[in-house]
Structure 1
Amino acid sequence: MKKRLIISLLSLCPAAFISAQTPVYLDDSQPIESRVQDALSRMTLEEKVKLCYAQSKFSSHGVPRLGIPEIWMSDGPHGVRAEINWNDWGYAKWTNDSITAFPALTCLAATWNPEMSAKYGKAIGEEARYREKDVLLGPGVNIYRTPLNGRNFEYMGEDPYLAGALSVPYIQEVQKNGVAVSVKHYALNNQEKWRGHIDVQLSDRALHEIYLPAFKAAVQQGGAWTVMGAYNKIRGQHACHNELILQKILKNDWKFDGVVVTDWGGAHDTREAALNGLDIEMGTYTNGLTTESAFTYDAYYLANPYLKMLKDGEVPLSTIDDKASRILRLIFRTAMNREKPYGALTNDAHYAAAREIGNEGIVLLKNDPIRKKAAPLLPIDATKYNRILVVGDNAVRLLNQGGGSSELKVKDMVSPLDGMREAYGDKVSYTKGYAAGRPFYGRAEAIRKAVIDSLRTEAVKMAKEADLVILFGGLNKNHGQDCEASDRLEYGLPFGQDELIEGILGVNKNMVLVLLSGNAVEMPWVGQVPAILQGWYLGSMGGRSLADVLSGEVNPSGKLPFSFPAKLTDCGAHAFDALSYPGDSIKQVYKEDVLVGYRWHDTKKIPALFPFGYGLSYTTFAYGKPSISAQTMRADGTVSVSVAVRNTGNRAGKEVVQLYVSDVKCSVLRPAKELKHFQKISLAPGEEQTVSFTLTPEDLKFYDDKAATWVAEPGDFEVLIGASSADIKGKVGFELIDKVISAKE
């Protein structure tokens, strides 16, 4: 029997006198649950409470007397963050904490490929393990409600099914390394403005149908070991100690056996934290980013105040036993897991994974010829162009930096300009074109505008002499753009990019626009730009991924994980008054209800500029007529839907076949269609493949808020097969002939 011998020392733990006379043995050959109960039975009340709060900026206590180590956490989810000082937010300036920056999760979602998600999780999990982290703070699965949310780049789009399906392989592969994920930000952290206190009001239907399913998939299918609470309030209680979402839904209904961790500074009340499901409190009395606390860690809500309430009988002892059991379970799964692998630092395999994910996530939005019978600009034929001008601050900016907690210290970073020079050599010249920065006031602002005008003038002058212009624009990770703790200030492009685009087009129509962002942007010039690529934040190998797709070395296969509204008021969250977004600074009401993203566009018949699921290719695909295995479905049955897809072009390519379900007649308002399945396939020129899906009654249900259960009403349904939510290739109908009701959640 394997045993760990621990000698108890009174000088280190006077409260442990009961075990000071004899050695303490913890049997690590037993099942985890036996070990949890064994350790719990040996612990003092003080030791149990100490497990529940931080001891430094990114670690929480263990039980030294019993040989139980502390928990070490690191920000994610796009890479393992550089080491932070023990007790302040400064970087420790180590020389061995450089890592791979993987593409942002918007890019992962745009791959529509669970295989890419698994590769992502495996690689980032290996780096976290090598850095001796026990918890990686990610992935993020909050729903894309508004394109102004500064943190959308960390999430996986507007559809709960897509976000859930892509979170599961990521989670599973990370945790195979003995590193826990922390799925965040649970829940309704769908804006950064007033995030610390805004009180979100929404219907039960919207909560269960839109905002919770990805978290549910992460917990029940992915097996996530921790969940991070959000900053905002939900129906009057902060999310980090919210009775409804933590106790009732997460722990009772979903049977979550892991740990709830606060976002840093997300706890506000000892009693609520004790009773409502919070397990580990981190970063209290700070804003999660910069502010330092004058309080000691023992002053945290779940520290001495909680201990006092337990001793005074104000909260039951069962609360601390539950919290300590969960934390011990986490420690045994991670820090004390003797079977976990060694991990690996940044290496060629991780770079290859990052590049492949980027290649599959880049979305070709537009690729029109500039004149009749001419070939599209993309892919770029190197033999046709001798002078390629690269323009844009984002061509050289380190987009791994900024953004808040997702900022990364990279070992290598291939910029878009680097990638273009690797592909096209000395044919490439560069000019900045625009300058990114915050606006100033008075004379300083006048000087800044003069600089922007000068850069634009120079770019237009050089564009006139170029054979091809590639503008790398978009957003960056500065405050007020794609950044934690702030929402975007405008839907349009910043820094005079609209004027730059129009100026270049005035002298050279051969322009390719590459947007690097985690959000949709307004495009008043969309009809004039012949080729547009959505490039995301692509990480260490981003420049090579972009060059792969622009050159045609890789055929683009990414599909949008969220809709691009033509104007901001076309988005459901912005179609009402300010109470819907951003709220009145105290309260916010989700007035679009379940009609989020494409559900709004399709149901309200407001076309998106670029719809959910959309993405072009350098080849073409033809869809056959879908067929169904039966015209009826019973409550205990299924039906199969099949469709043939053929590559009708002259290049190998990948296509995402999307299945949507429409409830033809229902007693409640339902979206015009909802994504229920998808499959990404690879086809050679001329190759055909039959894609099959199995529908179950679960795919037909809506949440009945009156009965607090999921229901599928008998009647007619349509299955829609499409290349996007707006490009439906075929339909087939069937009838549900029994009433289907699930058990209550």
Structure 2
Amino acid sequence: MRVPFKKNIIVFILCLNITCILAQNKIPKIQVEKGEATTAFIEAKIDSIIAVLTLEEKVAMTHAQSKFSTKGVARLGIPEVWMSDGPHGVREEISWDAWENAGWSNDSITAFPALTCLAATFNPELANKYGYNLGEEARYREKDVLLGPGVNIYRTPFNGRNFEYLGEDPFLASTMVVPYIKGIQENGIAACVKHFALNNQEHWRDKINVEVSDRALHEIYLPAFKAAVQKGNVWALMGAYNKFRGQYTTHNKILHKILKTDWGFDGVVISDWSSVHSTKEAALYGVDMEMGTGTDGLGTTTSNHYEHYYLATPFLKAIKNGELSEDLVNDKVRRILRLIYRTNLNPDRGLGKLNTKQHHKVAREVAAEGIVLLKNQDNFFPIQDKEGITIAVIGENATRNMTQGGGSSQLKPLFEISPLQGLKERYKHAKIIHTMGYESGPSVYDATIPAALNQDSLYVKAIEVAKKADIVLFAGGLNKSYHQDSEGDDRENFALPYGQEKLINSIYEVNKNLGFLLLTGNAVGMNWLPKTKGVIQTWYLGSMAGYAIADVVSGDVNPSGKLPFSFPKELNDNAAHSFGEISYPGNGVDQEYKEDIFVGYRWFDTKKIEPQYAFGYGLSYSNFTISDVKINQAKFNKNDKIKVTFNVTNTGDREGAEVVQVYVGKPKSKVKRALKELKGFAKISLDKGTEKTASVTINASDLAYYNTEISDWSLEKGTYYLYVGNASNNIKKKIKFIIY
């Protein structure tokens, strides 16, 4: 069992070790004082440390010693590295050598909203606040690396892990991930962006070989990672389980070539747990820390002991017998020491905070701002709190714990406000009644465990309650169980599970005043949509979920969230599914991304397929107009900046915020292109009846495409179109310009 270090103990041990070593061996001190932490100073220290480490000590630093830690070097005062799962909260403490909860009583945290919700805010400043507050909690828990954020692109609504990611658009994901990373790392905690790369499904994730064009790789699937490295200066990155062009991505040539060479990544590549398969490839192609390969390190057998990891004894032997160069382990250790100096030997590192009012405030703010109002017929929302009215809240998701389950991102929050609790506390005058309507069973990987309650009885009771109510709020959707929104495998059906559609149809027959609180991290089939007057997409909102939902339902907060991914009407309208099994989920061995660069709205736009709800879509309780759209000139060269200015007016009767989205398209291109691509956005808050002038600036060079003939980016000359609107399918202004 790990005993957490306290700061004074660390200082004492460091000083003791350093004093002895300096006296006996004249080794440079490990500790960095305030004011010394310059890059050159630390790199010189790292050089001096590598020179005195034994080969055995260096190899020991490159693989796990427990489920979530790697070894330090006690004789030199080099500390261990401790990690925790993320990305929307610090996971509860896990046992040293098993996946069970360690049973601590002081590891309850604030659960922040899942990253789909953060992406839906379209608010980079809020992403920074999210990251900073989450980083404070990781620091308080004495972690060095938080395993998140995730930036894998939303390719299919079946991916069980989509709720952990930032949507379907690489520009949105890139824009939101950078401030998130900076916020975390301001606390001296390394963010670990994941999963590099092409880990876009859970089904067969540990073996599927992805074939994708270089254009799609560079234009769709890598930009958010690149932004994390070059703009966010992320300190760690996690490999993925799948293969790419026949080679496992955790030790793929693209790690060395693209990540470390082309992008200049100077941090640590951490394997996903058990994603290493080869000592030689792991040594050569980029992974620096191997985690999770074995499960019995301190158990009853030695077959999976940490010393048998690919980067453990086999690595040591390969170096000693000359099969591999010692330079390879030196590079890995250099990166690990750099990580240590940035984190647990950082003299400017604070002590962190846990479960503060500020953390709860930020969690609630993100949750409320990320909620998306999808439908609002007859101004169903907001619902007024009036004496004499009865609101029936029907559905298991009104009370179900949504921070448990889901896989490695499950959390142990100090509390979780359910939607029902939030509504009951907000509505002081209206009568709130609840019944489950359906039950899905426990939040576990074992999907064979049946629900405990009689489904027919729940159904009958729900209809009875609905008959007596003035308003019905159905709280349903998906949950964090296996084959839902969960790590380990994908969804199996596009429709709502657990008989919810039948229940909605039956409720509608007895009460037409029906709204839906949709709790999901994914798009779902919506055949039931005509039976509802209002729909709110609420995501998985963490500790403050119920309060944030009540904020929007009541009108205390005007919704301003926008969808970070498209909702197809039918599953086959989604690009990945339209090409059959070889495109998704693959044939069990190989998979081809046949839609190529046409992911999400790019597919819907270009193929003229109407989505159920478009990327960037979201309603408000107010109304906005976008007018007077202009660009700063008509012709641009590759070094110019394209400045788009516009006016936004709130014509409604209350304050609110609109997200103005700027897309660019190249007609008659010499290469295939989407009709348009997101290149900028701005979120503008306005009081009722007011107007603001705002702008979005785009680098002309960012309009380049990845040219496979030269393996680099090319900016095509000629005519382009600028599209400005508030959703990918709701364009208010189109302007022609020239690149020369």
Instruction: Quote the offset at 1:276 in angstroms.
Output: 0.4
Aligned residue number for residue 475 of structure 2: 472
Instruction: Quote the offset at 1:107 in angstroms.
Output: 0.2
Aligned residue number for residue 523 of structure 1: 526
Greater shift, 554-563 or 635-644, is seen at: 635-644
Structure 2 CA distance for partners of 1:103 and 1:494, relative to 1, 3 Å: same
The 2-side partners of 1:143 and 1:292 are apart by 39
Instruction: Quote the offset at 1:90 in angstroms.
Output: 0.8
Out of 255, 273, 279, the residue aligned to residue 270 of structure 1 is: 279
The 1-side partners of 2:363 and 2:723 are apart by 33
Instruction: Quote the offset at 1:294 in angstroms.
Output: 4.0
The 2-side partners of 1:9 and 1:715 are apart by 67
The 1-side partners of 2:300 and 2:525 are apart by 34
Say yes or no: does 1:457 pair with 2:463. Answer: no
The 1-side partners of 2:112 and 2:442 are apart by 27
Asked if structure 1 preserves the Cα contact closer than 8 Å seen for 2:155 and 2:599, the reply is yes
Out of 626, 643, 650, the residue aligned to residue 640 of structure 1 is: 643
Structure 2 CA distance for partners of 1:460 and 1:52, relative to 1, 3 Å: same
Instruction: Quote the offset at 1:643 in angstroms.
Output: 1.1
The 2-side partners of 1:110 and 1:293 are apart by 47
Aligned residue number for residue 260 of structure 2: 251
The answer for unaligned runs of 5 or more in structure 2 is 1-10
Instruction: Quote the offset at 1:451 in angstroms.
Output: 2.1
Aligned residue number for residue 433 of structure 2: 429
The 2-side partners of 1:199 and 1:286 are apart by 25
Say yes or no: does 1:233 pair with 2:236. Answer: no
The 2-side partners of 1:635 and 1:22 are apart by 55
* Structure 1 segment 187-266 matched on structure 2, within 5 A: 187-244=197-254, 246-266=255-275
The 2-side partners of 1:532 and 1:119 are apart by 28
What letter is aligned with 1:174?
Answer: I
Secondary structure of 1:541's match? helix
1:464-492: CA deviations, max 9, x gaps? 11000111100000000000011001011
Structure 2 CA distance for partners of 1:335 and 1:300, relative to 1, 3 Å: same
Out of 162, 165, 188, the residue aligned to residue 152 of structure 1 is: 162
Asked if structure 2 preserves the Cα contact closer than 8 Å seen for 1:265 and 1:286, the reply is no
Aligned residue number for residue 8 of structure 2: none
CA RMSD of aligned residues (A): 2.3
Secondary structure of 1:729's match? strand
Aligned residue number for residue 699 of structure 1: 702
What letter is aligned with 1:688?
Answer: E
Secondary structure of 1:527's match? helix
Say yes or no: does 1:613 pair with 2:616. Answer: yes
Asked if structure 2 preserves the Cα contact closer than 8 Å seen for 1:57 and 1:84, the reply is yes
Instruction: Quote the offset at 1:8 in angstroms.
Output: 8.5
* Structure 1 segment 263-412 matched on structure 2, within 5 A: 263-285=272-294, 294-369=303-378, 376-383=379-386, 386-412=389-415
The 2-side partners of 1:427 and 1:134 are apart by 48
The 2-side partners of 1:572 and 1:267 are apart by 31
Instruction: Quote the offset at 1:100 in angstroms.
Output: 0.3
Instruction: Quote the offset at 1:74 in angstroms.
Output: 0.3
Structure 2 CA distance for partners of 1:9 and 1:639, relative to 1, 3 Å: closer
Aligned residue number for residue 740 of structure 1: none
Aligned residue number for residue 7 of structure 2: none
- Provide the aligned length of Structure 1 versus Structure 2: 718
Structure 2 CA distance for partners of 1:119 and 1:5, relative to 1, 3 Å: closer
Instruction: Quote the offset at 1:25 in angstroms.
Output: 3.3
Secondary structure of 1:112's match? coil
Secondary structure of 2:599's match? coil
Instruction: Quote the offset at 1:450 in angstroms.
Output: 8.9
The 1-side partners of 2:622 and 2:300 are apart by 52
Aligned residue number for residue 13 of structure 1: none
Instruction: Quote the offset at 1:639 in angstroms.
Output: 2.6
Asked if structure 1 preserves the Cα contact closer than 8 Å seen for 2:269 and 2:289, the reply is yes
The 2-side partners of 1:137 and 1:306 are apart by 25
Out of 579, 584, 589, the residue aligned to residue 586 of structure 1 is: 589
The 2-side partners of 1:639 and 1:8 are apart by 55
Structure 2 CA distance for partners of 1:205 and 1:19, relative to 1, 3 Å: farther
What letter is aligned with 1:625?
Answer: D
Secondary structure of 2:454's match? helix
The 1-side partners of 2:266 and 2:467 are apart by 63
Structure 2 CA distance for partners of 1:27 and 1:530, relative to 1, 3 Å: closer
Aligned residue number for residue 545 of structure 1: 548
Instruction: Quote the offset at 1:693 in angstroms.
Output: 1.7
What letter is aligned with 1:211?
Answer: Y
Out of 52, 71, 76, the residue aligned to residue 42 of structure 1 is: 52
1:213-271: CA deviations, max 9, x gaps? 00000111111000000110111111110012x00000000000000000101100000
Structure 2 CA distance for partners of 1:381 and 1:704, relative to 1, 3 Å: same
Say yes or no: does 1:481 pair with 2:484. Answer: yes
Out of 402, 417, 420, the residue aligned to residue 417 of structure 1 is: 420
Say yes or no: does 1:681 pair with 2:712. Answer: no
The 1-side partners of 2:73 and 2:237 are apart by 22
Instruction: Quote the offset at 1:699 in angstroms.
Output: 2.7
1:575-594: CA deviations, max 9, x gaps? 01200000001110000000
What letter is aligned with 1:256?
Answer: F
Aligned residue number for residue 739 of structure 2: 736
Q: Normalising to structure 1: TM-score of the pair?
A: 0.93
Say yes or no: does 1:554 pair with 2:557. Answer: yes
Asked if structure 1 preserves the Cα contact closer than 8 Å seen for 2:97 and 2:296, the reply is no
Asked if structure 2 preserves the Cα contact closer than 8 Å seen for 1:7 and 1:24, the reply is no
Instruction: Quote the offset at 1:697 in angstroms.
Output: 1.9
Asked if structure 1 preserves the Cα contact closer than 8 Å seen for 2:82 and 2:144, the reply is yes
Asked if structure 2 preserves the Cα contact closer than 8 Å seen for 1:27 and 1:35, the reply is no
Q: Normalising to structure 2: TM-score of the pair?
A: 0.94
The 2-side partners of 1:438 and 1:53 are apart by 35
Secondary structure of 1:420's match? helix
Instruction: Quote the offset at 1:665 in angstroms.
Output: 1.9
1:287-322: CA deviations, max 9, x gaps? 99x999841101000001001001111111211111
Secondary structure of 2:529's match? coil
Structure 2 CA distance for partners of 1:178 and 1:504, relative to 1, 3 Å: same
Asked if structure 1 preserves the Cα contact closer than 8 Å seen for 2:392 and 2:466, the reply is yes
Out of 714, 717, 721, the residue aligned to residue 718 of structure 1 is: 721
Asked if structure 2 preserves the Cα contact closer than 8 Å seen for 1:5 and 1:23, the reply is no
1:700-721: CA deviations, max 9, x gaps? 1111112111111110001100
Aligned residue number for residue 95 of structure 2: 85
Structure 2 CA distance for partners of 1:523 and 1:314, relative to 1, 3 Å: same
Instruction: Quote the offset at 1:534 in angstroms.
Output: 0.3
Out of 617, 625, 628, the residue aligned to residue 628 of structure 2 is: 625
Structure 2 CA distance for partners of 1:428 and 1:450, relative to 1, 3 Å: closer
Structure 2 CA distance for partners of 1:543 and 1:65, relative to 1, 3 Å: same
The 2-side partners of 1:5 and 1:514 are apart by 57
1:416-473: CA deviations, max 9, x gaps? 000010011461011001111389xxxx99x969922221111111101100011110
The answer for unaligned runs of 5 or more in structure 1 is 11-15, 370-375, 738-745
The 1-side partners of 2:456 and 2:125 are apart by 45
The 2-side partners of 1:172 and 1:9 are apart by 35
Aligned residue number for residue 572 of structure 1: 575
Aligned residue number for residue 373 of structure 1: none
Aligned residue number for residue 96 of structure 1: 106
Secondary structure of 1:215's match? helix
Structure 2 CA distance for partners of 1:528 and 1:293, relative to 1, 3 Å: farther
Greater shift, 77-86 or 23-32, is seen at: 23-32
Instruction: Quote the offset at 1:495 in angstroms.
Output: 0.3
Aligned residue number for residue 174 of structure 1: 184
Instruction: Quote the offset at 1:500 in angstroms.
Output: 0.8
Structure 2 CA distance for partners of 1:157 and 1:21, relative to 1, 3 Å: closer
The 2-side partners of 1:600 and 1:698 are apart by 24
Structure 2 CA distance for partners of 1:314 and 1:150, relative to 1, 3 Å: same
What letter is aligned with 2:392?
Answer: L
The 2-side partners of 1:621 and 1:634 are apart by 34
Secondary structure of 2:290's match? coil
